[in-house]
Structure 1
Amino acid sequence: MAEHTDLRHIMGVGIAITRGSAASLSFCYSILLLTMCRNFITKLKEFSIHQYIPLDANIQFHKIAACTGLFFSLLHTVGHIVNFYHVSTQPIENLKCLTNEIRFNSDYKPGISFWLFQTITGITGVLLFIIMCIIVVFAHPTIRKKAYKFFWFTHSLYVLLYALCLIHGLARLTGPPRFWMFFIGPGIIFTLDKVVSLRTRYIPLDVFETDLLPSDVIKIKFYRPPNLKYLSGQWVRLTCTAFKDREFHSFTLTSAPHENFLSCHIKAQEPHLEELLVKKRITEEQGKFSVDLKV
């Protein structure tokens, strides 16, 4: 291959950084979907695989995968900037041999702004970087604690994030797109898991027993609805109607399937749980504590 058509010679070390980090972040982003498949994880607990994989640590692993993906995303961005700089400084004759996906006028020499804002790779990359920054900022524990609704809303941008990831490589500037290879399996599992979640329904339940345990942990027992069947370790989404009736949080049921009640052990880390803890402490001396929960 002639020197001017060799991507490594034209783009320098940026091509190695871009391709290597792209594969790594594609893997991390795909793993993120699996960590949020709660129904799938609950089903896996029926098999012996849970003895080898810490399925209950899915949230912690989600954070690790997200931070790793963030690192490789930043590295990927740096690689693209290096690539675009080298490409924008090439003679126009070399660019005509670089890719068949983009056509140039005979007297037009594109600069770095062209590659960033007038190509599929560039514009989707800019949008991906903005969305990624928004999600990361609002996922910070301090912001999440004080503005949970914004955390939930910005995390819902994941649909747009993955759509842009699939489009990002279509220009084939540095090679054929490969993100779909990592995404297709976890994407199908995640979609099916979401379909199962859509079948759930919400039931208002009354709390009949609470205990304040050490380390600000509240044990809550509430009546089990008739004909309700569930598995050990199954998760439910709860909201406290006394505070925020539309803000749901996921918790694992700590009661056994054969018991005639449902229970959860909840540590007061979020604002609405701290309010619940305060109410529990205030009313503890009165000998009564009643909060409606919607499941």
Structure 2
Amino acid sequence: MGNWIVNHWFSAVVLFAWLGLNIFLFTYYFLIYEKGKSFAYTRFILGSALAWARGSAACLNFNCLLILLPVCRNLLSFLRGTFSCCRRSVRKQLDHNIAFHKLLGYTIALMTAIHTIAHLFNVERFYNAAISKNTTLEGMLSSIDDDWVNPVRSEKQTQLYICFTTIAGVTGVVITLALILMITSSTEFIRRCYFEVFWYTHHLFVIFFAGLLIHGVGRIVRGQTPDSMEHNDYESCHDKFTTWKVKHGGSSDDDDDDDDDDECLMPSFQGNEPMTWKWILAPIILYVFERLLRFYRSQQKVVVIKTVSHPSKVLEIQMKKRGFKMEVGQYIFINCPLISTLEWHPFTLTSAPEEDFFSVHIRSAGDWTDRLIQVFKDQDQKTPCLKVDGPFGTASEDVFKYDVSILVGAGIGITPFASILKSIWYKFQREDERLKTKKIYLYWICRETGAFAWFADLLHSLEQEMTSSGKDGFLNYRLFLTSWDSSIAGHAIINFDVETDAVTGLKQKTCYGRPIWENEFSQVSDAHPRSTVGVFLCGPQALGKSLQQCCHQFSSMDPRKVQFYFNKENF
């Protein structure tokens, strides 16, 4: 438990604060509508379903206020730079933006279900009250015309009629359908296999928020007016409904004096002021500015200066753009109008901030990437036009803020670390003494030997630079090949005594199989007993769970001993 606290104590505080605010809002508004005197007559018709609908609506407003913020990438990049002087526990929260966005989405779905079910009960009870006779309190309340409490005015206004003709009903249906489509298309399977479906469907959020802004304009949920409560208190008047009198306009003070104190006037009601827009307008405006900024930057000219086709269907694209500034480990979004004018896909930058260009390595991993690689192959004479948005910050920006860093990449997941290693190479060349990091461990896990090709040159350059600068021990890298045939194994055995590796040509020999992470973390822990170790992963969730478990296992609560901090790329 103590080791878990080292990595997640601040996340737990944030989560409990969010959960506490949800519980408070739900309880506060639930009690207003369940116990409040102004809603006594409304509650008599609807029962507790009214309170359930309004309590869940308050939570919906709160979570809809938050859900756009984690996807405001420029805002997150700004905050990451602003918090650069803060403790790493605070900065790490920005790396959980997608997870928090998903949590908010699921919470909105849950509260929408509660809100919708409660209002379906309300519509049914409104209808039953409307067809009741005036000899019942429900029927008497439903007969009020001007300052009504029951939106159902006749038997012809059936439940379906209310749901599909009122502002609240129509927008509620639209909002719910949009939410269902967004949630279902966000599943892991859809996002990985049919990204375009996810991308297009997720933009239904525009319809969702538009419907949300006007959902409460109809003011269907109504409470008793303060003036009416003075002449008709529920506790003393609800059982005298057969003797209620209608208050005539223009009555004088003398007329009021003649009224019997025991007589009750017909109650009047007013709709609640719409509140949702007050919750969500500010984040909507912020998100609009975010998109405008991203649109402006995406329209700036991008010059493709070089493309290189690497083995394993990897395409390297080197580009230039006016005013482009980056940090290590950041990522950009790329759009190719020849393929689609609307689709934007994220790619980690593989260039270093010290270089006068920026680059990405794109592996064939789906329809869009396949077509992009093919477009560059076919366009020998004229380079295809690309649009670029970014760069945006990631967890890897903090790699130099730790005493020791462990970098773990799986397949093309090595790309953010290419930027880091290149930056280290430049720092060594100019003998930058401000580098806090004293040791870097790099693990690259691949299925095939061809994947090592494009990265081997960079590692070879680093080997030479560190040897010449007397820092041989700064970088410890290990390459793991998880899939091989008998010819590769035989070749490795034959060349076992050769100084360089048979697969990569590097001094470090390639390992066959997968790392035993407990052993790796134990060795690092023993070698750096009083250090803060940053563990950075760009790879699958299963690998992330293993690394995170090791971080918990080998971290100490004592700040004077080794502590492992887990960081994962999310975009």
TM range (shorter): 0.7 to 0.9
Looking at structure 2, the residues matched to 13 and 103 of structure 1 have their Cα atoms a distance apart, in angstroms, of 18
Looking at structure 2, the residues matched to 60 and 209 of structure 1 have their Cα atoms a distance apart, in angstroms, of 35
Looking at structure 2, the residues matched to 251 and 96 of structure 1 have their Cα atoms a distance apart, in angstroms, of 63
Work out whether 1:146 is the aligned partner of 2:193: yes
Q: Counterpart amino acid of 1:61?
A: F
CA contact (8 A) 2:42 2:149 kept: no
CA contact (8 A) 2:80 2:94 kept: yes
CA contact (8 A) 2:167 2:215 kept: yes
| Displacement of 1:169 | 0.9
Work out whether 1:124 is the aligned partner of 2:171: yes
Alpha-carbon spacing, 1:143–1:85, altered in 2? closer, same or farther (3 Å): same
Looking at structure 2, the residues matched to 248 and 125 of structure 1 have their Cα atoms a distance apart, in angstroms, of 31
Looking at structure 1, the residues matched to 321 and 287 of structure 2 have their Cα atoms a distance apart, in angstroms, of 30
Aligned with residue 34 of structure 1, among 64, 69, 83: 69
Q: Deviations over 1:25-68 (max 9, x none)?
A: 22222222112211121111211177415223322222221111
Looking at structure 2, the residues matched to 210 and 64 of structure 1 have their Cα atoms a distance apart, in angstroms, of 40
Unpaired runs of 5+ residues, structure 2, are: 1-35, 133-138, 222-271, 375-382, 389-571
Mapping of 1:77-88 within 5 angstroms? 77-88=116-127
Work out whether 1:203 is the aligned partner of 2:250: no
CA contact (8 A) 2:307 2:317 kept: yes
Greater relative CO (CA pairs within 8 A, separation 6+) = 1
TM-score by length of 2: 0.42
Work out whether 1:182 is the aligned partner of 2:295: no
CA contact (8 A) 2:317 2:361 kept: no
Work out whether 1:258 is the aligned partner of 2:354: yes
TM-score by length of 1: 0.76
Looking at structure 1, the residues matched to 95 and 39 of structure 2 have their Cα atoms a distance apart, in angstroms, of 53
Q: Deviations over 1:188-209 (max 9, x none)?
A: 2111111111112252535556
Q: Counterpart amino acid of 1:129?
A: T
Q: Deviations over 1:108-160 (max 9, x none)?
A: 56432232122111121111111212222222222233332232222222111
2:324 aligned partner: 229
1:287 aligned partner: none
CA contact (8 A) 1:116 1:123 kept: yes
SS at match of 1:26: helix
Q: Counterpart amino acid of 2:115?
A: H
Q: Deviations over 1:213-240 (max 9, x none)?
A: xxx9x7x764341543324365421257
Q: Counterpart amino acid of 2:296?
A: R
Alpha-carbon spacing, 1:64–1:266, altered in 2? closer, same or farther (3 Å): farther
Which structure's CA Rg is the greater one?
2
Alpha-carbon spacing, 1:134–1:203, altered in 2? closer, same or farther (3 Å): same
Looking at structure 2, the residues matched to 8 and 130 of structure 1 have their Cα atoms a distance apart, in angstroms, of 29
Q: Counterpart amino acid of 2:302?
A: I
CA contact (8 A) 1:96 1:103 kept: no
Alpha-carbon spacing, 1:68–1:211, altered in 2? closer, same or farther (3 Å): farther
CA contact (8 A) 1:120 1:170 kept: yes
2:492 aligned partner: none
Aligned with residue 12 of structure 1, among 47, 50, 59: 47
Work out whether 1:191 is the aligned partner of 2:288: yes
2:110 aligned partner: 71
Alpha-carbon spacing, 1:223–1:124, altered in 2? closer, same or farther (3 Å): same
Mapping of 1:38-77 within 5 angstroms? 38-48=73-83, 51=88, 52-53=90-91, 54-77=93-116
Looking at structure 2, the residues matched to 153 and 4 of structure 1 have their Cα atoms a distance apart, in angstroms, of 42
Looking at structure 2, the residues matched to 249 and 134 of structure 1 have their Cα atoms a distance apart, in angstroms, of 21
Q: Which runs of 4+ in 1 moved over 4 A?
A: 1-5, 96-105, 206-212, 243-246, 263-273
SS at match of 1:237: strand
Work out whether 1:248 is the aligned partner of 2:344: yes
Q: Counterpart amino acid of 1:72?
A: M
Unpaired runs of 5+ residues, structure 1, are: 280-290
CA contact (8 A) 2:331 2:349 kept: yes
CA contact (8 A) 1:96 1:104 kept: no
Deviates more, 1:184-193 or 1:113-122: 113-122
SS at match of 2:332: strand
CA contact (8 A) 2:302 2:319 kept: no
Q: Counterpart amino acid of 2:286?
A: I
Work out whether 1:160 is the aligned partner of 2:227: no
Q: Counterpart amino acid of 1:132?
A: L
What is the CA RMSD across the aligned residues, in angstroms? 3.7
